[in-house]
Amino acid sequence: MQQVFKRPEALKDVQTHFCPGCHHGTIHRLVAEALDEFGLQKRTIGIASIGCSVFLYHYFDIDVIETPHGRAPAVATGVKRAKPDSFVFTYQGDGDLAAIGTAEIIHAANRGEDITVIFVNNTTYGMTGGQMAPTTLLGQKTSTSPYGRKSEKEGFPVRVTELLSGLEGVAFAARTAVNTPKNLMDAKKQIKKAFQYQVEGKGFSFVEVLSSCPTNWGMNAVEANERVGREMCEYFKLGVFKDTAGI
Amino acid sequence: MPKIEIDELRCKGCGLCATVCPKKCIVLSEQINNLGYTIAVLDEAGGACVGCALCAEMCPDVAILVFK
């Protein structure tokens, strides 16, 4: 009997702090599988952000730098320029990347830094208690929009992947989800593609992954998983938005 | 004969594995693990596991290993 599914080597065999059904664990595994596939574990420097993604260094068996809130792309820029032979990726949530870190991500992308960004969008601030994020959907109730987000007061949810696709410096940009096996397989493919861009030195690559946050959405794991397909995929369309090298 | 192994110390009982199993052979049990979660178990009464690994792919905690 042969083992057909096992834990990737780049992922430590430890218990995570994520809530039941949280997609962070799934996305961690997909990133670790991509690191394994390209044999990058020894020369990878992961850049962790602030949020539930903060414990990257506990869960990945790679070198990790923990950065101040939103500054992961700036730190990644420094690491990649100082050590061009290293493989550098950031792993950021929407509160980190799309709110406090907007300046950093836009300018790192516009400069076409040779790094990869994994952007986990769960439409809320997960770690701090479910506050409204720039990506919160209209009508969505959060602890700081108890009557639902309204466009007149709080504006519209930011589509970060489309926004970055418009920049010349971006080589690859895609949005994926992990709510169904089909979407998950596609997410795996796009993360590997993004890594390949950096391995081949082809420039800035960006993958957004839609994720659930059962606890802050006030749902159980299965309901939250369904919401990703029902509501999030409607507004945040999945697909490859930019693929300059056509890998 | 394909089979899966669910690590009961890692399972958080989210049930995502059960929603994607084509043979409906994973069920949430009443067994409680050391973290207080009711864990998923393999129950092949309705249909045997075919080793498709969809459950393992969906599991956010990498708690399922698949053998074929």
Q: What ranges do the domains of chain B cover?
A: 3-67
In this prediction, residue B22 carries a pLDDT of 94
Instruction: State the fold for domain B3-67.
Output: Alpha-Beta Plaits (3.30.70)
What are the chain A neighbours of B67 within 8 Å (beta carbons)? 1-4
What are the chain A neighbours of B57 within 8 Å (beta carbons)? 5, 181, 184-185
Q: A122 is in which domain, residue-wise?
A: 24-243
**Is the CB of A20 less than 8 angstroms away from the CB of B68?**
no
Non-local (6+) Cβ contacts of B36 within 8 A are none
Which element (helix H / strand E) includes B42? strand B38-42
Per-residue pLDDT tens listing for chain A (247 residues): 899 999 999 999 999 999 999 999 999 999 999 999 999 999 999 999 999 999 999 999 999 999 999 999 999 999 999 999 999 999 999 999 999 999 999 999 999 999 999 999 999 999 999 999 999 999 999 999 999 999 999 999 999 999 999 999 999 999 999 999 999 999 999 999 999 999 999 999 999 999 999 999 999 999 999 999 999 999 999 999 999 988 7
B27 touches chain A (CB under 8 A): no
Q: What is the ipTM of this complex?
A: 0.95
Domain assignment present for A10? no
Domain assignment present for A43? yes
Out of A7, A22, A181, closest to residue B62 by CB: A7
- We report the CATH number of the domain holding residue A151 as 3.40.50.970
| Angstroms from B45 CA to nearest CA on chain A | 22
In this prediction, residue B44 carries a pLDDT of 87
Domain assignment present for A237? yes
**Is the CB of A29 less than 8 angstroms away from the CB of B66?**
no
Average pLDDT over residues B6-35: 95
For residue B16, give the chain A residue with the closest CA: A222
Domain assignment present for A224? yes
pLDDT at residue B64 greater than cutoff 80: yes
Domain assignment present for A8? no
Out of A6, A21, A24, closest to residue B14 by CB: A21
The number of distinct structural domains making up chain A is 1
Which of A5, A29, A185, A223 is the best mutation test for B, with the most CBs of B within 10 A? A5
| Angstroms from A139 CA to nearest CA on chain B | 26
Answer whether A70's CB lies under 8 Å from A50's CB.
Answer: yes
In this prediction, residue A200 carries a pLDDT of 96
What are the chain A neighbours of B50 within 8 Å (beta carbons)? none
In this prediction, residue A101 carries a pLDDT of 96
pLDDT at residue B46 greater than cutoff 80: no
| Angstroms from B52 CA to nearest CA on chain A | 9
In this prediction, residue A246 carries a pLDDT of 81
